[in-house]
Amino acid sequence: MKDQKETMVITAVVNKANIAELPSYLEQIQPIFAKNGAKPIGRYKTKQNLTGTDSPEIISIFEFDNTDTINTMVQSEEFTGLSNLRARVFSKLNMMICAS
């Protein structure tokens, strides 16, 4: 039986006051995801919000080998070392492990 892959979904609202720092954050976070075997499934920018409020502007979906890999990554020194930059760049950030 093949191991079940895990899906991580990220939704974010960019802090407009610090939008200039977004490219730096993405440049630093992408290698961390790659090092942990993340396979990009899709990256989306919200084009039009149809209902609700506080709609995410960015949605990213990644596939990982397992939940432990995701949890280890987000608890790693490399990932947590970007916490201050992440807090400046995003006014809202949600990271979820999702099941289909």
Phi and psi at 35, nearest 5°, equal -60, -30
Q: What is the pLDDT of residues 78-94, one digit of tens each?
A: 999 999 999 999 999 99
pLDDT at 39: 97
With a cut of 90, say whether residue 53 has pLDDT above it.
Answer: no
pLDDT at 1: 42
Question: Token pair for residue 49?
Answer: 């919000």
Secondary-structure breakdown of the chain: helix, strand, coil percentages, each rounded to the nearest 5: 40, 30, 30
% of residues, the chain, pLDDT over 90:
88
CATH code that applies to domain 6-98: 3.30.70.100
Task: Provide the pLDDT confidence category of residue 2 given band limits of 50, 70 and 90.
Answer: low
pLDDT at 77: 98
